């Protein structure tokens, strides 16, 4: 078991380390990456660490003018909305992200036998930030380009997929034991739109990683109707948010696919007996899958009590050891 966003604002030690340090600066400093990645491992004794980063780090590394604004999220100074904008998205080279190689190398030495999960954003979500210029509720500009200019959309997605693959390859080459592709906004799409406009590019990413002998995790938010397609894309593990019970999700994915999830992060604010009961239910339903990684159904919320997560980790370890 591990928790998405297990290293982050819910930890007082994280807030101390990040004080006065902008997010993207922290993501480019090996010492901070190592410290922040290890913080939840020390506190919770989770079974895996996940590389501390942000999905826009590789875009920043190739020269996209963007920033992560507090309370807003990634903001792009010059949104990509035409062919010229797409052409400016060059390939990512390992030398663009030397801090990744250094940090992953140090982390794998510190972690020993405990796995380090590499991390990257998926092309659709990256495209949405680039086109909208920041977070969006409706993704109207993104969908307009996808629907109205399919050739330009395909070019954009191909470039972003190549950037994502290289970012993950760098992490794997440095020692990451597994990788997670995170598609925050893909739940905004219908199954038909996903199959036509996103699936080929996501499948290409997983195919490019297939020979590197690392498990590949695919997670999206609000993707209950897309779980079969997320599995079809080629991941070994499909993350499930809290909206779909794991026994139902197991019926939607391809044979041989493990599941990750999926306790509602808000559950952690309820009394402990509720947390324990619901966690036990997740474990019970997860038994229907061909493999189960216990996790939340999305990231740890910033105001979560770290002591509850520590207690939950101990509970899951105790229950599954029986």
Q: What does DSSP say about strands 178-183 and 66-69: parallel, antiparallel, or unpaired?
A: unpaired
R_g of the chain computed on alpha carbons: 19
- Across the beta sheet with 292-296, the strand order is 49-50, 116-121, 178-183, 216-220, 237-239, 258-263, 292-296
How far lies 301's CA from each of 107, 123, 264, 269, 307, in Å? 25, 24, 10, 10, 13
Pairwise CA distance, residues 315 & 322, whole Å: 11
Pairwise CA distance, residues 68 & 74, whole Å: 4
Catalytic machinery residues: 5, 9, 18, 54, 129
Pairwise CA distance, residues 155 & 149, whole Å: 10
Say if CB 267 and CB 275 are below 8 A apart.
yes
Residue the block writes with tokens 């922290």: 26
What 8-state DSSP symbol labels residue 301?
A: P
Structure tokens of 235? 């991941």
Residue the block writes with tokens 């340090």: 21
Q: Which residues are CB-neighbours of 31 under 8 A, at least 6 positions away? A: none
- Bridge partners of 49, per DSSP, are 116
Pairwise CA distance, residues 258 & 18, whole Å: 35
């Amino acid at each position: 078991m591990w928790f998405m966003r297990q290293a982050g604002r819910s930890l007082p030690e994280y807030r101390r380390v990040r004080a006065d340090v902008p997010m993207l600066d922290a993501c480019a400093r090996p010492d901070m990456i190592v410290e922040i990645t290890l913080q939840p491992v020390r506190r919770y004794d989770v079974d895996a660490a996940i590389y501390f980063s942000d999905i826009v780090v590789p875009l920043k590394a190739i020269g996209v003018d963007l920033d992560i604004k507090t309370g807003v999220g990634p903001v792009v100074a010059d949104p990509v909305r035409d062919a010229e904008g797409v052409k400016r998205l060059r390939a990512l080279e390992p030398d663009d992200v030397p801090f990744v190689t250094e940090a992953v190398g140090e982390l794998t030495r510190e972690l020993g036998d405990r796995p380090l999960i590499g991390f990257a954003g998926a092309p659709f979500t990256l495209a949405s930030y680039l086109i909208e210029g920041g977070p969006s509720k409706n993704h109207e500009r993104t969908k307009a380009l996808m629907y109205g200019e399919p050739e330009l959309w395909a070019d954009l997605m191909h470039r972003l997929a190549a950037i994502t693959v290289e970012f993950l390859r760098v992490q794997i080459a440095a020692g990451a034991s597994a990788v997670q592709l995170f598609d925050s906004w893909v739940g905004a799409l219908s199954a038909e739109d996903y199959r036509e406009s996103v699936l080929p590019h996501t499948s290409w990413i997983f195919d490019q990683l297939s020979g590197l002998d690392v498990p590949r995790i695919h997670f999206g938010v609000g993707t209950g109707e897309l779980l079969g397609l997320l599995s079809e894309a080629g991941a070994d593990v499909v993350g499930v948010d809290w909206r779909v019970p794991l026994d139902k999700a197991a019926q939607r994915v391809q044979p041989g696919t493990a599941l990750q999830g999926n306790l509602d992060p808000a559950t952690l604010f309820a009394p402990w007996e509720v947390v324990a009961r619901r966690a036990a239910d997740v474990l019970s339903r997860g038994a229907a899958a061909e493999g189960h990684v216990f996790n939340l159904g999305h990231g740890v919320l910033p105001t979560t009590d770290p002591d509850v997560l520590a207690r939950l980790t101990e509970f899951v370890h105790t229950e599954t050891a029986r």
